[in-house]
Structure formats: structure tokens, C-alpha cells
Amino acid sequence: MGFVIAVDGPAASGKGTIASVLAKDFGYPFLDTGLLYRAVGVRLLDQGGDLDDAKAAQACAQNLDLAELERPDVRTRAAGEAASRVAVHGGVRAALLALQKDFAAQEPGAVLDGRDIGTVITPHAQAKLFVTATPEIRAERRWRQLSGQGEAVTYEDILADIRKRDERDSGRDSAPLAMAPDAVLLDTSEKTIDAAIDAARRIVEAARAKAGL
Ligand code: DC
């Protein structure tokens, strides 16, 4: 088994940025697993389907074409909301499981970010980070990002989205957002992105040393 870095945390915590930098620095392939759920949600909406329809959502997940992860519309606010809604269905999660486990099994290792990486997808990961920040700070970051993409959204709307999403992602029965007992907590509320990346790098370096790398 290669060296796996599992990065979990709530929406807009900075986990995606941190995970992609770690992947580049340590030379591992990177999978943003949120994109899988986003692509399932977008595909279901495209078909005029209902996000609460577990069977239809599962069929979308089973037929997912990885090229769909590249679509620009998977990064919109609507796609994030749709992703969180289809992600509650156990059948959707089951359909995406093998793909994520296979990605994690690559040699010499891999980086995955999401909500259940350290708890469900790769409980054996040698490095686990749980990246978080206050809802207000996450809302501000996400608002800047979406405004930069040209979406007309207010900070208040985004904060409401974030609170709703936290509740749904943490409250669902199937693989809820949770910190693995052996994960290291990284609170980025008071950190610049560079400081957060440095802290993440140190956590991974310590885990690598422990693994004899
Ligand atoms: O990380 P993100 O914001 O792109 O994720 C979008 C949604 O997808 C998130 O609100 C919940 C779901 N998700 C999940 O349930 N499990 C994952 N491993 C990744 C994302």
C-alpha cells in the first residue's frame, strides 16, 4: 500500500487548496472527491431529476463519466448544494466507493480530500488531516471565490448555505462528515493560506517520518 494523505473538513475550510498543494509537493496524484458528488448532482439536475430521488441519484453515480468532473458548472454554488443533497443517499456513496478506494491504492501514494476519507474511504491512511474554520470565515472565503467566478451572491446567502450544508453533511446517516480519531485537527480560521499550508506540510512530514519515508 502506498502513502495515503486523507484531508477532510467542512465546505470552504481550505481543505481543497491544502490537499492540492500537498499532492504537488510530495508528488502524489490528487482526487477532490467533492467533484464526484457535484458531478452526480449536476447530471441529475440536467436530466430534470429530483435530488431526493435515491434511485435516480444512484443511477447517475453508477454511470458517472470522469470527464464530467472537468465541467466548469460542477464548481458553482448550485452544484455544491446539489452535491450535498445527493451525498445523503447510501446508494450514491456505495457507487462511488470503489473508484475512490482504487484511486487511493495507487503507488507510491495518493491524496484525497472530502468528508469521509479518513473515516470510510481510507481508514488506513498514514496521514489524516481535519481542516476546519469558523462558519463566518468559510463563508467569506467562499463568497470571494464565487464572486470571482462571476456569480452574483451575497455573503449572507453564502453563510446560510454553509450552515445548512454543515448540518446536512454532519447529520446524515451514511458516512457523515466526522473527524477520524487519529486525524490531526488544523483550524485555519486565524491562518493565512501560506501558514495553513506550512502547518499541513509539517503534519504530513511527521507522518512520513513515522512511516519510515
Ligand atoms: O467539498 P465540496 O464542497 O466540493 O463537496 C460538495 C458536497 O459533496 C458536500 O457538501 C458533501 C458531499 N461530499 C461528501 O458527502 N463526501 C465527500 N467525500 C466529498 C463531498
Residue 122 near residue 4 (C-beta atoms within 8 A): yes
pLDDT at 28: 98
Q: In what order do the strands lie in the sheet with 127-132?
A: 30-32, 109-114, 3-8, 127-132, 184-187
In the structure, which protein residues have their CB atom closer than 6 angstroms to any atom of ligand 1?
11, 33-34, 37-38, 80, 83-84, 87, 114-116, 165, 169
pTM: 0.96
Give me the pLDDT at residue 1, please. 78
**Each residue's pLDDT expressed in tens, for the chain with a length of 213 residues:** 799 999 999 999 999 999 999 999 999 999 999 999 999 999 999 999 999 999 999 999 999 998 999 999 999 999 999 999 999 999 999 999 999 999 999 999 999 999 999 999 999 999 999 999 999 999 999 999 999 999 999 999 999 999 999 999 999 999 999 999 999 999 999 999 999 999 999 999 999 999 999
Query: What proportions of the chain, in percent to the nearest 5, are helix, strand and coil?
Result: 55, 10, 30
- H helices of 2-117, in order, are 15-26, 34-46, 54-62, 77-86, 90-104
122: helix, strand or coil: coil
* Residue 11: per-residue pLDDT: 93
User: Is 159 exposed, middle or buried, given 0-12, 13-18 or 19+ CB atoms closer than 10 A?
Assistant: middle
CA dihedral 119, 71, 153, 44 (to 10 degrees): -70
Residue of 4, 15, 71, 84 with the most ligand 1 atoms within 8 Å of its CB, for mutation = 84
Nearest ligand 1 atom to the CA of 169 is 11
